[in-house]
Protein backbone atom coordinates (compact mmCIF):
# COMPACT_ATOMS: atom_id res chain seq x y z
CA UNK A 1 0.00 0.00 0.00
CA UNK A 2 1.51 3.32 -1.05
CA UNK A 3 -0.59 5.64 1.12
CA UNK A 4 -0.90 4.31 4.66
CA UNK A 5 -3.24 6.32 6.96
CA UNK A 6 -0.66 6.50 9.76
CA UNK A 7 1.76 8.29 7.42
CA UNK A 8 -0.67 11.04 6.40
CA UNK A 9 0.14 14.50 7.68
CA UNK A 10 -1.57 17.75 8.50
CA UNK A 11 0.42 20.89 7.65
CA UNK A 12 0.01 23.99 9.82
CA UNK A 13 1.19 27.02 7.88
CA UNK A 14 3.40 29.34 9.89
CA UNK A 15 1.66 32.33 11.42
CA UNK A 16 3.15 35.28 9.58
CA UNK A 17 2.29 38.59 11.30
CA UNK A 18 4.95 40.47 9.31
CA UNK A 19 3.88 39.00 5.96
CA UNK A 20 7.50 38.15 5.17
CA UNK A 21 6.57 35.13 3.03
CA UNK A 22 7.83 32.17 5.04
CA UNK A 23 8.68 29.05 3.08
CA UNK A 24 7.46 25.48 3.46
CA UNK A 25 10.33 24.76 5.86
CA UNK A 26 8.63 27.10 8.37
CA UNK A 27 5.43 25.04 8.47
CA UNK A 28 4.64 22.57 11.25
CA UNK A 29 3.76 19.04 10.18
CA UNK A 30 1.71 16.70 12.33
CA UNK A 31 1.32 13.00 11.53
CA UNK A 32 -2.18 11.64 12.02
CA UNK A 33 -0.59 8.80 13.99
CA UNK A 34 0.65 11.41 16.52
CA UNK A 35 -2.91 12.59 17.12
CA UNK A 36 -4.25 9.08 17.55
CA UNK A 37 -0.93 8.03 19.12
CA UNK A 38 -1.20 7.05 22.75
CA UNK A 39 -4.16 5.04 23.97
CA UNK A 40 -4.24 7.29 27.04
CA UNK A 41 -4.21 10.58 25.12
CA UNK A 42 -7.49 12.37 24.51
CA UNK A 43 -5.97 14.89 22.14
CA UNK A 44 -2.97 16.96 21.19
CA UNK A 45 -2.00 20.64 21.34
CA UNK A 46 0.57 21.76 18.77
CA UNK A 47 2.36 25.10 19.06
CA UNK A 48 1.90 27.06 15.89
CA UNK A 49 3.96 30.19 16.46
CA UNK A 50 6.97 31.61 18.23
CA UNK A 51 10.20 30.06 19.35
CA UNK A 52 8.31 26.95 20.50
CA UNK A 53 6.63 26.36 17.12
CA UNK A 54 6.10 22.65 16.52
CA UNK A 55 6.20 21.70 20.20
CA UNK A 56 3.52 19.18 21.14
CA UNK A 57 1.52 18.63 24.32
CA UNK A 58 -0.26 15.29 24.58
CA UNK A 59 -3.56 15.69 26.44
CA UNK A 60 -3.61 12.72 28.79
CA UNK A 61 -5.31 14.31 31.79
CA UNK A 62 -8.95 15.19 32.40
CA UNK A 63 -7.82 18.66 33.50
CA UNK A 64 -5.02 20.60 31.81
CA UNK A 65 -3.90 24.00 33.14
CA UNK A 66 -2.27 26.50 30.80
CA UNK A 67 -0.32 29.39 32.27
CA UNK A 68 2.95 30.98 33.29
CA UNK A 69 3.12 29.11 36.61
CA UNK A 70 5.71 26.29 36.40
CA UNK A 71 3.15 23.98 38.05
CA UNK A 72 0.80 24.30 35.05
CA UNK A 73 0.54 21.30 32.74
CA UNK A 74 1.35 23.57 29.79
CA UNK A 75 3.78 26.22 31.06
CA UNK A 76 4.15 29.25 28.79
CA UNK A 77 6.79 31.51 30.32
CA UNK A 78 5.95 34.95 28.97
CA UNK A 79 4.54 38.18 30.46
CA UNK A 80 1.57 38.02 28.04
CA UNK A 81 0.39 34.85 29.81
CA UNK A 82 -1.26 34.94 33.25
CA UNK A 83 -0.03 32.59 35.98
CA UNK A 84 -3.15 30.46 35.62
CA UNK A 85 -4.46 31.64 32.27
CA UNK A 86 -6.82 28.93 31.01
CA UNK A 87 -7.96 25.41 31.67
CA UNK A 88 -8.98 22.50 29.48
CA UNK A 89 -11.41 20.11 31.14
CA UNK A 90 -12.46 16.82 29.57
CA UNK A 91 -16.22 16.31 29.61
CA UNK A 92 -18.58 13.84 27.95
CA UNK A 93 -18.55 15.88 24.71
CA UNK A 94 -14.80 16.57 24.65
CA UNK A 95 -12.50 19.28 25.99
CA UNK A 96 -13.99 22.53 27.25
CA UNK A 97 -11.61 25.50 27.41
CA UNK A 98 -12.23 28.05 30.17
CA UNK A 99 -10.48 31.39 30.69
CA UNK A 100 -9.40 31.62 34.33
CA UNK A 101 -9.78 35.40 34.61
CA UNK A 102 -6.66 36.18 32.59
CA UNK A 103 -5.66 39.78 31.92
CA UNK A 104 -5.11 39.39 28.16
CA UNK A 105 -7.94 36.96 27.51
CA UNK A 106 -8.17 33.57 25.86
CA UNK A 107 -9.03 33.30 22.18
CA UNK A 108 -10.36 30.45 20.06
CA UNK A 109 -10.33 31.01 16.31
CA UNK A 110 -9.56 34.71 16.93
CA UNK A 111 -12.61 35.30 19.15
CA UNK A 112 -12.27 36.06 22.84
CA UNK A 113 -13.99 33.39 24.92
CA UNK A 114 -14.84 32.75 28.53
CA UNK A 115 -15.73 29.10 27.94
CA UNK A 116 -16.08 26.99 24.80
CA UNK A 117 -16.28 23.35 23.71
CA UNK A 118 -13.23 22.77 21.52
CA UNK A 119 -13.57 21.28 18.06
CA UNK A 120 -10.91 19.42 16.12
CA UNK A 121 -8.60 21.97 14.42
CA UNK A 122 -9.51 24.95 16.62
CA UNK A 123 -6.75 27.54 17.02
CA UNK A 124 -6.18 28.63 20.62
CA UNK A 125 -4.38 31.82 21.56
CA UNK A 126 -3.01 32.29 25.07
CA UNK A 127 -0.98 35.47 25.36
CA UNK A 128 1.38 35.57 22.39
CA UNK A 129 1.21 31.80 21.87
CA UNK A 130 -0.95 30.14 19.23
CA UNK A 131 -1.74 26.44 19.38
CA UNK A 132 -3.92 24.08 17.37
CA UNK A 133 -6.15 21.58 19.17
CA UNK A 134 -6.54 18.09 17.74
CA UNK A 135 -9.24 15.88 19.22
CA UNK A 136 -7.91 12.34 19.51
CA UNK A 137 -11.42 10.90 19.20
CA UNK A 138 -12.29 12.54 15.89
CA UNK A 139 -8.98 12.24 14.04
Q: Show the 3-state SS of 103-127.
A: CCCEEECCEEECEEECCCCCEEEEC
Q: Show the 3-state SS of 61-107.
A: CCEEEEECCCCCCEECCCCCCCCCCEEEEEECCEEEEEECCCCCCEE
Q: What is the pLDDT of residue 37?
A: 55
Q: What is the pLDDT of residue 34?
A: 56
- Full set of structural domains in the chain with CATH: 40-135 (2.60.200.20)
Question: 102 and 10 in contact (C-beta within 8 Å)?
Answer: no
Question: 92 and 81 in contact (C-beta within 8 Å)?
Answer: no
pTM over 0.95: no
What average pLDDT values come out for the chain (139 residues) when binned by 10 residues?
50 51 52 54 83 87 96 95 98 96 96 97 94 78
> Which whole-number Å values give the CA distances from 127 to 29, 47, 134, in the listed order?
23, 13, 20
Amino acid sequence: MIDHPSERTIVLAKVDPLQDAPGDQDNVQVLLSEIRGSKNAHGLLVMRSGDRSGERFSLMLDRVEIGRNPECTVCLDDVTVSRRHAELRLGSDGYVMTDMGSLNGTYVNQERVDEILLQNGDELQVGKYRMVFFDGASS
